[in-house]
Amino acid sequence: MTEQAIHDGRQRRIRRQIRRSPGLTVVNDDSVRRVKHQRIRFIATFDKPMLAIVLLLLIIGGLMVFSATWDWSNQTYGTASGFFVEEHLRNVILSTVALFFFATLDYRFWKRFAIWMLLFTIVALVAVRMYGELKFGARRSFAGGRLQPGELAEFAVVLYMAAWLGSKGARVDSFFFGLLPFMAVVSVISGLIILQPDLSSAGIVALTAGVMFFVAGANLLHILAVGGITTAVGIVVVQYWEYAQDRIANFLAGLSDITLTDYHTLQAITAFVRGGWIGVGVGQSQQKFGALPAPHTDSIFAIVGEELGVFGAAVVVALYIAFAIRGFQMARIAKDNFGSLLCVGFTSWVIIQALLNIAVMTGVIPSTGVPLPFISFGGSSLMVIMIGVGLMLSVHRVATRPKPTSERRSDIANIDRSWRNRRSRLSGLGDRAGAAPSG
C-alpha cells in the first residue's frame, strides 16, 4: 500500500469523526465549517435519574413530616399545616435553590475553598462547644437547633478529602504523605464532634472519610490500621460517656428480650408491628402522639413503617439503593479525581446516614440520633445534603457536556499531525502534572 493510499484512508477516518461531532459538518475533503448548535434546554443538562430519586425522597419526606407534625402544629400554630408550611417547605425550597445553584457552577471552582471550609468548620466546632445551646446535656447547635456545625463538618470533610486525596495521586498509599495527614484531619474533626458530645456524627465523618481514602488508593494495611485505631478509640469513648454505656447495655439486653431494649427502639419496633405489611394509612399513626421520640426527625422511618407498612419502607430503602448506584455511576464518568471523589464521598455520606437511621429504627444497632437523609425534618441537615447533590450533578454536567467547537477542531488537528510528526500527541493528565520537556 502506497503512502498516498494510507494518507487518504486516514483522511476518510478523520471525516467520519467530524461527522459524528455535533456542531460540525464536512464541506470538502480538507475543510470544515461551524454550524449552529441546537439549543438545549437548561434542565436537560442535569442527570434526570438522580433528580428523580431526590424528588421522590423529598415528596415522601414532606408527606411524612406533615403527618408526624399536624397535631403538634395545630396546638402550636392553630392550624394543622402551620409548622409544615412555615418550616419544612421553607427548608425544602431553600435547599432546592442551593442544589441548582451549585449544580449550575463548575464544581472545580470550589476546590480552592476546600481548606478554608475545613478551617471554618474547625472554628465553628470549637465555638459550639463553648457557646452553643445546651440541650439534653450536649452543645451541638446555634439558633434554636437550626445551625449544627457537626453537619457542616460532614460536608466539609467530603469536600476537603476530595480535593486533598485527588491531588495526591500515587502518594495516597504513603505512610507520611497519605496515612498520617489523613489521620490528623479525621482525628481533629471527629474529636471536636465527640466533645459536644455527638458520637453518631463523629462516626459518620470517620466512615465517610475512610471510604474516600480506600477509593483513592490507600494501602490496605493502612486501612486496617485505621479501622483498628478507630475501634479502640470508640471503646475508650464509650467507657467515658455514661449515656453511651446505657445504650449499649440496653441494646445487648434487647437481643434476648425485646422488652428490655431502650425506650426509643421499643417504640419504633411497636410502630413497625402496628403497620404490618401495608400500613395503617397516611396520617393514622398512633406512635407519633407522644410515644415515639422525635417522630419528625430521627424517628421518621418508624412513622413510614407504621403508616405505609413494610412495602412503603421497602420503597424508601430501594430509593436509597438507587441513589447509591447512580452516585457511583456518576463517579465513574467524572473528568478528574476531584470530581470522582466528590461523588463517592457524598454518595457514601448519604448512604451511611440512611443505613444508621434505618438500623437504629429496626433495632439492629444501639440507639443513636441520626436523621434520615431527604426525609427527616431539618434545616441545616437538608441544606448540606442538597448542596452535596448539587455538586454531584455539576460533576455529571461537566463530564457529559459537549466540547466547544474550537476544542474539537484542535483535537482533530492534533490527530492529523500525528501522521506526519509522530512526536506530537495530545497531553494526558500525567504529562500536564509534572512531566519535564525532553530535548
Report yes or no on 439 lying in a domain: no
Whether 129 and 167 map to the same domain: the answer is yes
Residues of the domain holding 19: 1-38
Q: For each of the chain's 439 residues, which pLDDT tens digit applies?
A: 566 666 666 666 666 655 555 444 444 444 444 434 444 556 677 889 999 999 999 999 989 988 888 877 777 777 777 777 778 888 999 999 999 999 999 999 999 999 999 999 999 888 888 877 777 667 777 766 667 888 889 999 999 999 998 887 657 878 888 888 888 999 899 888 888 878 888 889 999 999 999 998 888 888 888 888 888 887 877 777 776 777 777 777 777 767 777 777 888 888 888 888 888 888 888 888 877 888 888 889 989 999 999 999 999 999 999 999 999 999 999 988 999 999 999 999 999 999 999 998 888 888 777 889 999 887 788 999 999 999 999 999 988 876 554 444 444 444 333 333 333 332 333 333 333 333 3
Report yes or no on 340 lying in a domain: yes
Whether 254 and 156 map to the same domain: the answer is yes
Cα separation, 97 vs 101, in Å, equals: 6
In sequence order, the 6+-apart residues with CB closer than 8 A to the CB of 91 are: 377, 378, 379, 382, 383
**DSSP helix, strand, coil percent of the chain (3-state; round to 5):** 75, 5, 25
Whether 283 and 149 map to the same domain: the answer is yes
The total number of structural domains in the chain stands at 2
Report yes or no on 93 lying in a domain: yes
Q: Would you say 212 and 158 are in contact if contact means Cβ atoms under 8 Å apart? A: yes
Whether 6 and 64 map to the same domain: the answer is no
Residue 98, C-alpha cell as written in the block:
442551593
Whether 224 and 320 map to the same domain: the answer is yes
Whether 114 and 224 map to the same domain: the answer is yes
SS3 (DSSP) at 32:
strand
Whether 209 and 328 map to the same domain: the answer is yes
Determine phi and psi for 140, rounding to 5 degrees.
-125, -10
Whether 309 and 334 map to the same domain: the answer is yes
- Helices (H) and strands (E) counted in the chain, each on its own, are 16, 4
The DSSP output letter for 81 is: T
191: amino acid identity, one letter: G
Whether 34 and 92 map to the same domain: the answer is no
Report yes or no on 435 lying in a domain: no
Cα separation, 236 vs 353, in Å, equals: 23
The CA-based angle 52-54-55, given to 5 degrees, is: 65
**C-beta atoms surrounding 377 within 10 Å:** 27
In sequence order, the 6+-apart residues with CB closer than 8 A to the CB of 128 are: 139, 140, 141, 142, 148, 149, 150, 196
Cα separation, 10 vs 7, in Å, equals: 5
Whether 25 and 137 map to the same domain: the answer is no
Report yes or no on 107 lying in a domain: yes
Look at the pTM and tell me if it is higher than 0.85: no
153: amino acid identity, one letter: A
Whether 73 and 8 map to the same domain: the answer is no
